[in-house]
Amino acid sequence: MSVSPPLRRSPMALGLTLLAWLAAVLFLLLPLASLGTEALRKGLGGVLRALADDDALAAIRLSALVVAVCVPVNTVCGLFAAYALTKYDFPFRGLLLVLIELPLSVSPVVAGLVWVLLFGAHGWFGPWLAAHNIAVVFALPGILLATLFVTFPFVARTVMPVMESQGRAPEEAATMLGAGFGSVFLRVTLPEIRWALLSGVLLCAARALGEFGAVSVVSGHIPGQTETVPLHIETLYNGYDTVGAFSLAAVLALCSGAMVASRTLMDWLRGRRSVAR
């Protein structure tokens, strides 16, 4: 893409530009500024005090655990799915693609609801789980399953277009030269997709960290035990601890903002601004 000179400097273009800036400031910049202001209402000390709270620390630990479990699982499975879908032919490929994308367009609340229907007290496996004294819903396993569901497609769908555009010839050539699955995958496929993979992992992690709706449905909302950071923000906010809620919110926004920004930066450095999300 070459950077061509501005098309028009007409009064209409100027007017539209001002309108675009106004919209961006009103709809996009002001919320960000408001987030910072609310968090710093009692100064940096207020933020630090809110973060040092026991329940807040427990929420941060739980969120870190959720990211640490869900991101690797969905990365490995997503990689294999992308590989299977692009390197081989099989019937019902389109159906499988739709099933992989579905978690992205479905409501987060529905993503939580399905696990309650499976593992809740009146769910399919509820009685069996109760008899064996295993807690899934309103406990850690439920939170993990809900997050796995909503972060399910990110790696697969960021990697798939790159694998597809690469074709099958490199893998076929490697196979003819005697390489097994391990060497084909690690030495031929993986190096080609490493940037897309990193991009997908960042998206997956940002979503796992910030997921609210799905986790809210399957979490018991017990402060210090089953509250991730977004859920704890809700508890603080509804308890009128505005500074606490916005402090935690600002830290969460910084983390996921850093992930999204490093993805954008990566695209810029590589000279193309992809829109795969």
Partner 1 sequence: MSHSVPQAPGLRRLPFGVPAVIPGRTLSFGLTLFWVTALVVLPLTALATKPFGRGFKVMLHALGDARALHALALSFGCALGAASLCTLLGLLLAWVLERVRPPGWRLLDALVDIPFALPTAVAGITLTSLYAPTGWIGAPLDRLGIKVAFTPLGITLALVFVGLPFVVRTVLPVLRELPRELEEAAETLGARPGQIARRVLLPALAPALATGFGLAFARGVGEYGSVIFIAGNRPMVSEIAPLLIVIRLQEFNYAGASAIGLVMLLAAALCLLAITALRRRLPASLGVRLGGAA
Nearer to partner 1 (CB atom), residue 58 or residue 200: 200
- At closest approach, how far in Å is the CB of 44 from partner 1? 19
- At closest approach, how far in Å is the CB of 225 from partner 1? 18
Q: Residues 217 to 236: which contact partner 1 by CB under 8 A?
A: 217, 230-231, 233-234
Of positions 45, 52, 165, 269, contacts partner 1 by CB under 8 A: 165
Nearer to partner 1 (CB atom), residue 58 or residue 205: 205
Nearer to partner 1 (CB atom), residue 44 or residue 110: 110
55 binds partner 1 (CB under 8 A): no
Nearer to partner 1 (CB atom), residue 49 or residue 104: 104
- At closest approach, how far in Å is the CB of 124 from partner 1? 6
Cα(235)–Cα(249) distance, rounded to whole angstroms?
Answer: 12
Nearer to partner 1 (CB atom), residue 105 or residue 133: 105
Query: What number of other Cβ atoms are within 10 A of residue 217's Cβ?
Result: 21
Site string (178-217) toward partner 1, x via CB under 8 A: -xxx--xx-----------------x--xx-xxxxx--xx
Nearer to partner 1 (CB atom), residue 58 or residue 120: 120
Of positions 136, 171, 227, 247, contacts partner 1 by CB under 8 A: 171
Q: Residues 15 to 44: which contact partner 1 by CB under 8 A?
A: 16-17, 19-21, 23-24, 26-32, 34-35, 38
Of positions 131, 169, 177, 269, contacts partner 1 by CB under 8 A: 169
Cα(233)–Cα(221) distance, rounded to whole angstroms?
Answer: 11
167 binds partner 1 (CB under 8 A): yes
Q: Residues 108 to 147: which contact partner 1 by CB under 8 A?
A: 108-110, 113-118, 120, 122-124, 145
Cα(148)–Cα(211) distance, rounded to whole angstroms?
Answer: 10
Cα(35)–Cα(133) distance, rounded to whole angstroms?
Answer: 43
Token couple for 152: 């399910």
Nearer to partner 1 (CB atom), residue 53 or residue 200: 200
Q: Residues 68 to 97: which contact partner 1 by CB under 8 A?
A: 77, 80-81, 83-85, 87-91, 96
166 binds partner 1 (CB under 8 A): yes
